Every structure is written in C-alpha cells, then in structure tokens.
C-alpha cells in the first residue's frame, strides 16, 4: 500500500471509533428517560474502554498491509503528510491527530516520538477553526417574548419524557435569574440566549448549558433537570456562579455523556463560559479523555519549555505504595508505583494498577480525583532536584531509565495537586477545620453510595481543593463496598480481660467503623466535630445499610451544587414573585 492508502486506513479506524463512540453516547437519553441508572453507568464505562479496542483493530489491519517491525522513515513521513491533508476540514481533526499518535506509538520505538512522525504539537493551530456556532443554537426573546422563548429552549431538547409542570419551572428560572444574575434583568428585546443543542447527562441528572448575551455582557448558566419521584421531569436548580459551574465540570466527577459533531467547537464554547478551565480539563469533562490526555501533555511540555522550576517531592506524608513528586509551578502531582511495598500492604503492583483502573471506570461522584495514565514519559534530568533523583533511584528504579541527560519513567499517573487534608488542618482556623471535617464525612458517604470503599481512610489520603471540597486521591486500597465485611467491635468479657485475650479475630475484608473515631480522628477537636456531624458513620448499621442499598440497586443522586441552590429550598414567595415577572 502507498502512503495515501495507509493514511486513509488509519483515518478509517478513527472514523469507526468516533461513530461507535457516538452511538454509545446516543443511548444516554433513553436510559435517562427510562431511569435506567445502572445502564447510564455502563454506558460511561463502555466509552472509556472503547478507544483502545479501536486502536488495536487498526494496528492489526496495518500489520496485514505494511511491514511494521522496523520504521520506514520516508514512508511514515509521507503517511503523516497525507494524513494531515485529510484533516484539513475534518470536524474532529484534533481527535483524529490523537488517534494517529496512539497507532504510531504502539508500533514503534519512543525515539521516533517527535513532531516529524507524530503530532506532539497540533498542526491545527493555523487551520480554519470550526465555528462554535456549529454546536449551539440562538434564541431571540424579541420575537415571542421572554417566557415563551425559555419554554422553546427547554422543549427543543428532546428528553424523551414530559415535564411535570414546565410553566412553574420557567417561573422558578426567571425568579432565580433575577436573584442570581441581576445584570441580565433586561427587557426581552435586549438579550439573546445561546444554548448548546445537546444536553449533558451524568448519573441521574441532565444539564442544559448556555449563556445570556445582553447589553450588560455575557452571563453563563447551567440548568439542572431531574426526575420527580411522582413522575415527570422538573428543573431542580439554576447555576450562574462561575465557581459552581467549574465544580460541575470538575476533575473529580464522571465524564459527561453528550453528543457532539464538532468537539473542538463545543470545547471552545465551554471555555468561553469557564475561561479558567484548560482544554485538557474540558475535553475530559465531555468524555474525550484521550484528547484530554494529549492536551495535558502539550501543556506539560510547554511548561517545561517556558519555566525553570524543578521536580521535587510532593508535600505530604510519604506513601508506602506510590512515590509522589511535583513541579512547584505546575498544579499536578506525578505518581509512580514503588518497586517494593511496606509489609502492611499485602498486595503487588498489578493490584494497584487494577484499583486505579477501577476508579477510572467508576462513577467518581465528585469525590475521587481523575488520573491520567502515561507510559515512557521523558523528563530532562536537569529538571529533577538531586535529592528527588536519589530517592527515585532508591524507590522506583524498576520503573525508570536514565540515559545521558534524560530520565524516562516507564509508567506513571498524574493527578491534580491538592493540599493534603492532614496538612491543611494543621493551619486551619476553627471555621475551616469544622467545614473540612464535615465535608470529609460527606465525601465518605458519597463514595459509599457509589459502591466505593476507600480502604485507608486516613486524612493524609484526602485533599482540599481550591473550592474547599474534600477529595480522595489514594487508590491502592480501594475496593467495592459490597466486597467488605462490616463488623462491630467485640466487647471483651471479664474472662477475656483476665486471660489477656482482648483482641478479636480479623479477616482480610473485615472493617470496624468504630475505629474511624479511634485511629483516624486522633485530635479531640476533630473527633467532636465529626461525631456531631456524622454520628451515623461510627455505627456499623449505617455501613451495612449502604451496602444493602447498593446490592438492591438503590442509586442515590449526588448533587454537584449546594442544596441552597435547589428551587425546592427557595422561599415560597418564589411562585408569587415570579408570576409578577411573567
């Protein structure tokens, strides 16, 4: 086959991947309408595994048509040029670049991983950008009036089931807009609504995303839609705060299920609503985690090219399974599995890899940090502090290779950097301490509801985000909640005490919730706050009930926004006042 035919073969592999990816995503609206929550979770997990399967299929076809045992440099230089021509007006060109990289990098040695052979840097910066208008639709209240226009927006989205009381929902929305975003309180003829056409599905909710463009500027917003327990849909909340929107699109949540023909256009629209979000974060949020991985690596290379900071050991307690280091001016940590573990960790490397993959495929319910997994990451040796390099050679020598002036890490995970909870509490005032410990309890409960048992619940394994949320990030002991055996602490009898037999037998999967109070919350002040806020977490019955709920497929909705934002929590005058603005 010639270079053009090979480039078309690779692009055909991408085309099949994208078509199947979208066909899987298209199942979400029906699953949401039918309230098949377990199917929603399966759809999300299927999409994560799908990409690698299509890459392997393409590689198999390539090996049948061209010699891949060694690199024919002139041929592959020409293949890339031909492939690039095919992407000139491709609606998913950036994703197709990443697919090409995946195919090439699995075929050949890393010494060829440069811009001559792959798309280390995108070639699309100077290409005609897809207009963001490809993904949104505009509505003009000057034509029909404000209330009817809002009704058109909601009704245009086919949720495949009816709203319980859409008129009341719209009144609630208008009142909430006036309260939250007074700059948008204009007459209808002085504004325009730009709405992403596809709803964003995740867990038990659907989200409508858009912006109000008025003479006062641009106001982004998100509308949360849920199923009412008595039947029908209802609008649960309006979110206009930038920080709340960033949390909904945060790194600790499952990827959205949303249909898109032009991902770059959708990403740019979202970036206009949330300017502080990077392309990597937004591609991840809308389900294209491989593209997010590519964008992140480009950010990493750009940081290395434009800064001088050096890798150093990350703040926090040294881990027994992972070696964790960071770049001070880059908001991420790099985690590498150690060659040997502490005796208290009775498992091996494969188990750690499996548990990190478990979290990747699972619903993270806003409480577990997403990880980006890489192989053969090359770092300039001069950018690693000598003390760290010595430690790496002592702890992860089996996962690294030093050649001349570069260090290659064979396998690592990258996570968003947070302040370890134990360190945060050391300098926290009383109000900060109370908030953090209460949210730590909420984090535990929300993970349990998602069938996740964190294993090691020590405070050092949780982090504090800039939004003051508590997030779990250490997955080497993660297991399914339903696999655990929750027990009460045995109260020793007088005979036991007399014989010195004050210990009870413990099996590998046994958990004693009462020990959370004893061994995790050693500070008396922390104990008091936790006991007042979450006494149920100290009772084995709570854990057993959570386990039973998961077994019975009782899916609890985890709200990614404050309860105070929900319309049901607003003052009853919302109905009366909103009618006055009809």
Q: Is 323 annotated as a binding residue?
A: no
Is residue 149 annotated as involved in ligand binding? no
Catalytic residue among 169, 370, 439, 474: 370
d(CA 427, CA 531): 21
The Cα-based distances of 417 to 213, 383, 481 in angstroms read 35, 19, 26
Determine if residue 316 is labeled as part of a ligand binding site: yes
Beta carbons within 10 angstroms of residue 533's beta carbon? 16
CA distance 375 to 389: 19
314 is in an annotated binding site: yes
Phi, psi of 311 (to 5 degrees): -60, 140
Which tokens hold the place of 288?
């294209």
Distances (CA, A) of 557 to 26, 159, 229, 541: 22, 18, 12, 21
List of residues 6+ apart from 62 with CB closer than 8 A: 6, 9, 10, 68, 103, 107
Q: Say if residue 239 carries a ligand binding annotation.
A: no
Instruction: Identify the three-state secondary structure at position 294.
Output: helix
In the numeric block, the tokens 């509801």 are attached to: 449
Distance CA 204, CA 555 (A): 8
382 annotated ligand binder? no
Instruction: Judge whether 370 counts as a catalytic residue.
Output: yes
Q: Which of 171, 164, 361 is nearest to 254 (CA)?
A: 361
- Residue 315 marked ligand-binding: yes
How would DSSP label each residue in 228-246? -TTSSEEEEEEE--HHHHH
Strand 479-480, strand 485-486: pairing: unpaired
Element (H, E) at 214: strand 205-214
Q: Is 428 annotated as a binding residue?
A: no
In the three-class reduction of DSSP (H, G, I as helix; E, B as strand; rest coil), residue 478 is classed as coil
138 DSSP β-pair partners: 194
Catalytic machinery residues:
370
> Residue ranges for the binding site?
314-320, 335
> Residue ranges for the binding site for ATP?
314-320, 335
């Amino acid at each position: 086959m010639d270079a053009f035919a090979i480039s078309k073969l690779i692009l055909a592999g991408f085309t099949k991947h994208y078509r199947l990816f979208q066909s899987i995503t298209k199942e979400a609206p029906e699953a949401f309408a039918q309230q098949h929550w377990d199917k929603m979770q399966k759809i999300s997990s299927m999409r994560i595994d799908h990409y690698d399967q299509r890459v392997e299929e393409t590689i198999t076809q390539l090996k049948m048509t061209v010699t891949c045992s060694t690199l024919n440099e002139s041929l592959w230089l020409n293949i890339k040029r031909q492939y690039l021509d095919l992407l000139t007006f491709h609606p998913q060109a950036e994703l197709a670049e990443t697919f090409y990289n995946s195919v090439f990098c699995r075929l050949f040695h890393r010494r060829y991983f440069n811009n001559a052979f792959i798309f280390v840097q995108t070639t699309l910066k100077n290409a005609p950008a897809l207009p963001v208008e490809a993904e949104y639709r505009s509505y003009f209240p000057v034509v029909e009036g404000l209330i009817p226009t809002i009704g058109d927006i909601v009704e245009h989205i086919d949720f495949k089931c009816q709203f319980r009381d859409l008129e009341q929902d719209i009144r609630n929305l208008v009142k909430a807009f006036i309260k939250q975003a007074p700059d948008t309180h204009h007459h209808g003829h002085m504004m325009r609504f730009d709405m992403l056409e596809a709803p964003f599905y995740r867990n038990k909710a659907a989200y409508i995303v858009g912006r109000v463009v008025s003479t006062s500027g641009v106001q982004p917003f998100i509308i949360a839609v849920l199923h009412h327990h008595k039947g029908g849909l209802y609008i649960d909340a309006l979110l206009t705060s930038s920080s709340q929107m960033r949390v909904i699109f945060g790194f600790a949540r499952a990827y959205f299920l949303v249909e898109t023909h032009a991902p770059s256009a959708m990403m740019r629209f979202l970036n206009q609503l949330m300017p502080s979000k990077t392309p990597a974060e937004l591609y991840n949020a809308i389900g294209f985690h491989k593209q997010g991985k590519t964008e992140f690596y480009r950010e990493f290379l750009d940081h290395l090219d434009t800064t001088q900071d050096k890798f150093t050991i990350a703040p926090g307690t040294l881990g027994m399974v992972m070696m964790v280091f960071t770049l001070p001016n880059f908001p991420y940590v790099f985690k590498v599995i150690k060659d040997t573990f502490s005796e208290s960790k009775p498992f091996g490397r494969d188990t750690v890899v499996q548990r990190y993959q478990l979290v990747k495929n699972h619903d993270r319910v806003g409480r577990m940090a997403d990880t980006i997994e890489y192989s053969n990451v090359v770092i300039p040796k001069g950018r690693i502090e000598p003390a760290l390099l010595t430690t790496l050679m002592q702890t992860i020598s089996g996962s690294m290779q030093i050649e001349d002036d570069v260090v290659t890490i064979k396998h690592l995970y990258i996570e968003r950097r947070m302040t370890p909870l134990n360190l945060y509490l050391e300098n926290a005032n009383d109000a900060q301490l109370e908030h953090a410990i209460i949210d730590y309890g909420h984090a535990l409960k929300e993970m349990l509801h998602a069938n996740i048992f964190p294993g090691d619940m020590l405070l050092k394994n949780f982090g504090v985000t800039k939004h003051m949320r508590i997030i779990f990030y250490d997955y080497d002991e993660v297991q399914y909640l339903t696999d655990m055996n929750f027990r009460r602490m045995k109260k020793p009898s007088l005979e036991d005490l007399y014989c010195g037999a004050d210990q009870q037998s413990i099996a590998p999967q046994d958990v004693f919730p009462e020990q959370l109070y004893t061994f995790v919350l050693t500070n008396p002040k922390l104990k008091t706050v936790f006991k007042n806020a979450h006494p149920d977490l100290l009772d084995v019955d709570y854990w057993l009930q959570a386990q039973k709920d998961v077994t019975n497929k009782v899916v609890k909705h985890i709200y990614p926004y404050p309860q105070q934002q929900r319309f049901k929590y607003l003052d009853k005058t919302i109905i009366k006042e909103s009618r006055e603005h009809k």
